[in-house]
Structure 1
Amino acid sequence: TNRTILRQQLSSWKMVCRVAEDAAHAMDLLMAAARAGKPYEVALIDLNMPDVDGDQLACAIRVQPALRDTRLVLLSSSGNGHRDAREDGAFDGSLVKPVRQSQLYEEIQMVMAGDPAGAVENGSTPAPVVPGAAPGEGAGPPVLVVEDTLVNQVVVSRMLQKSGFLAQVVENGHKALDALSSRSYAAILMDCQMPELDGYETTREVRRREREQNGRRIPIIAMTANAMKGERERCLAAGMDDYMTKPLRKQTVRDTLTRWVCCPPADLTGSGTTPPPNGATATGRDGPELLQEAVIAEVMDLEGDVLSELVSLYFAEAAGHMAELGDAIARADTLAVGRAAHKLKGASGTLGAAYVSHLASELETAAKVGDLTGADDLVDRLGRGLEHTHEALRSRRAEPDIDGKASALP
């Protein structure tokens, strides 16, 4: 097979090589190596894989801070049409199969000589890679989306595009500040909890710069999965202008932006379908609903094959989050547990995976109060919940067969 040939070629150069049969296994290997302090320097990624293709896997890798220095090389068949993968922003190089040994050696040398595509060069912000964007849509007022979870990035971007806005995505506060220094935006949608620089501190810095430069006050709208009392006041105190709770609804996003953006664009899809009342296709083993139908209906209303795409991205990311949780719990690192649980909670809520989101929220709360005594049990329940969610989503008529993914999750 191609994997065997590549492994033999790489081993002949005394390179340490591991082989993964799918995207979930690849994420497990990458995250395990990063946790051990020996991250992989290069990943060769096939474009045509079942369930999660090479482009989607690259996007999932690029949003993991621990993997930002790994160089990614895209492998595609000649029948797919060759493309320069470096233009996509996620890959550092590309090869067409069948790969000659000399070409492989030269490509690895080339990507190792440059900076990885996941790194920020010269303080600039690289163009975001957001799957699901439809060409020609969203040519209206530009909106900066500051969000660190890939599933949420895709959904918010599609909602904005369908509402006639132009979406640009960055994954943390530092990159948001870089983006604001290079162009103006009609508004900012700001996630509150992010690594490196969270939404509250980012907003305070934006307001400080506006005062210092006597600049225009740009509307900043919070996006948060925290619906607790006092959260809205905290956002407003940081300098934000409005507040939306996740999972977001397209009409809510549009209505909120309309309050703050001068001359908002026309909705490209009208009011859309009316989501059904909150409900579930099944019930979690411990009580809470497994899937939230209203949220899934909202995602499906974005048109295209976006639900299938999001499910693939979700489970690829979930494998990484579960690996992070296991490692952080073993180290009794409550901060890392809370971060990973928060990401899993947010992505699950956006997709309508209500049961997994509920369990991740419990784990996040436990980490916040510094009590990890029941964390191992919660992670076990999360693993089972992901399997049940996977089965339920696979059974949906709109969802392609994705056998084997659940068993690959930790």
Structure 2
Amino acid sequence: MSDAIRKLLLRQLRRSVGIADEGGLAALLASPVDASDPAWQSFGRGLGDFLERVSGSYEQYERDLALRTRSLEISSAELTAANDKLRHELKQRAAAIHSLRQLISELLPQHGDNAAPAEPASDDIAVLSRRIGELVRDSERSRRALANQKFALDQHAIVSITDAQGNITYANDKFCAISGYARAELLGRNHRVIKSGLHPPSFFDDMWACIASGEVWHGEICNRARNGHLYWVNATIVPLLDEHGLPEQYIGIRTDISDRKAAEAIVLQAKEAAESASRAKSDFLANMSHEIRTPMNGIIGMTDLALDTDLSAEQREYLGIVKASSEALLTIINDILDFSKIEAGKLLVEDIPFNLHRLLGETVKSLALHAHAKNLELICEIPPEIPRHLLGDPGRIRQILVNLIGNAIKFTDQGEIAVHATLLKSREDVANIRISVRDTGIGISAEKQELIFESFTQEDSSTTRRYGGTGLGLSICRRLVELMGGNIALESQPGVGSTFHFALPLQLDPQPQLEEKISLDLTGRRVLIVDDNATNRRVLGGLLAAWQIESASAESGAVALALLRQTDRHFDAIVLDAQMPEMDGYDLARRLLLEHPDLPPMMMLSSSAMRGDAQRCREAGIAAYFSKPISGEELQAALGLLLRGQVGAAGQGQPINRHSLHERQRPLAILLVEDHPINQKLACGLLTKWGHRVTLASNGSEALAHFAEGRFDLILMDLQMPVMGGLEATRRIRESERQQQLQPTPIIAMTAAAMDEDRVACLAAGMDDYVSKPIHIADVLEKLAAIAGNEWPTPAAAAFDYRAALQRADQETVRIVAGVFLDTWERDIDRLRNAAAADDSPLAERTAHSFRSSLACFAADPAIALAIRLESRAREGQLLQLNDEIAALEREIRTLAEHLRPLAVTDSG
């Protein structure tokens, strides 16, 4: 029994029997037992055994307690370890919940849930689990959608992915199918495995420079399949950027365009065949035009010269018929050629400087004889507010006027034809001008007016039989007006007359040529106008008022005599109409001369000039004589001479006339380059008659020799000549002037060619202008007057207006093509130079042809002409002579590019 149990037992015995200590207990056990009491004897005998069993129980208790204590110790250690484990797991759980909450917060905006609910902030596992489940489902839907899109893309597109070095990391089935490679053969290999070799290295340099900078690249590439077959794709290469903004992968998405390329090749072949046929047709038309116009130039020109000599009435009648028939035939030829060009879409319009006042005056004047032959008044009214110096196509405007005025003369038997210009509105750089041609002819019925501008249409078939004509003129006029951005209209009443209006937007010339002005101040001078036609009186009065000249008018000779008899009515000059009823202008002049010895100078205006008029003028004391219509410039110049007293006394000397005004211009030294004997005689006769000095050369080689010996004011150059043609001679003259730093000599082409390509070739060779054969005297006089009066356009003033040309071009085509052209033209210029240096004629010809086609989209005539010339020279193998032309083409394209950049479409990728 342990000491602890024994002590416990002893304490319990003492309390039970009243024993104070352990010694008392021992004495009690040792004391003799009262044997008289059997119970006590039994108690005494069993007490020791009882105590032993109690002690044994206690010992067993102690052992059990020890075992329980050890078990508790073990359980406590295990519980502590479990608590530590739970605490650690709880910490991990809290960290996981925090991570999940943060992940959900990041994922919600990516799934389009910008207004995320407050639930992700909760630590509730159920809430987080629900949100994660939703995100997983969304992700799965996105994955399926992406898979579907990839499937759809794979069905349509050829897709590959490469690393930053171009090594293939993914290729879809279509890529494998079109290239002929298995996927295992492609993965890990560089994309160069399908390189065709068709593109130059610069092509791929540009592509890599684009995508390496992080930009999307678009283009068409030719690839080579495993079996060597070439195929074309339209490719988009998209760089995938890393966190630093640098490409780490490239995705290439392509579509097979081999069929389209094959179709384009067929179309190109057909186009080239059509262009070849068109060129053949154009060459035929040009050749036929030249062959027809050359003899007609001789017929009409020599007839003009013959009519200017002394002839009998019968001879004059016959020659007049010859001239009228020739001009009618020429009109038909011109209509047919123009109509052919319109139908072929090759009719071009220009934007060059011109004087509208002079153009209207000269055009009306050139038709005056036809009007006067029918006793018609032909009137031209140009108000002073109409701008003089404009940019446009004077040749086409003249063509429209000639057609409309010619029709008016044709369909009018009596009365008048009036040409009137009106300024509709004007901006800082554009004037909208309407030109009207009014007649008092047969008129046109309302139901026919809508059809009158259609091809081959006249008022009715009887009109064709009576008046003749092809019925093409008005159709051509309408197309010309529309090409120049204007409109044409008609007002007419049968039996009363017709008025044709056409309105054009014309740019103001930013560099107008200064014109010599009459130095005499005419302000306050008084002029008497005598004319029975009210329109004539109004037009002349308006011109005089613009120069601050006062005027009075009289509708007959009797009224004029009454005005002059009034002592307080003094006039400085009198303008008379030759044809008036009761008393014509000559009778009136003679009456005035008899009644007024101090009569002011008189000017006669006649609408029916005849031989012998000069003698009649001298006899009637007329100081100046002009056929109607007189232009404002002629009237102003003649009045200046009259009022300055630069004429002889009445009846003495020759009256001032249109030719004498021209003769007052300085004589010109002219080099005439012409091989045809008839044309030589005609041109020399006319030029000499007008007071100019003429040097004759029969071909371009002779012209160069004459040019080397001395300077000329003007060169008139035929195009088609033996030994050396006019274009080559012009190029060499311009080169000589550049080398010697000489001022360019005006060179005017004289051509029987009718095609616009010929006109472009003339300008490209360095010519300044051209006149068409048969030569019209009015055209030549106008150009000679401009040169003699120092009004010839300088090279800067005559520069081509690319801005206006781009406005005329098809705007959608310009918008689409401009960007590509601006990106590639400098590279193509380099290719052209390299081809010339390498003596590669086919490459030079193809490149020049490509330029020609591209430039045609922009209506860039000078650049087109240079490209045509380069193409021709390359075709002929003249590569050593291309450098100057290439430099000239580069200069023209740089000028074009400045106007083209604002119009280009920018690709956002």
Q: Say which structure is richer in strand.
A: 2
**Fold conserved between structures, TM > 0.5:** no
TM-score by length of 1: 0.30
The structure showing larger relative contact order (alpha-carbon pairs under 8 Å, at least 6 residues apart) is 1
Task: Compute the TM-score of the two structures, normalised by the length of structure 2.
Answer: 0.14
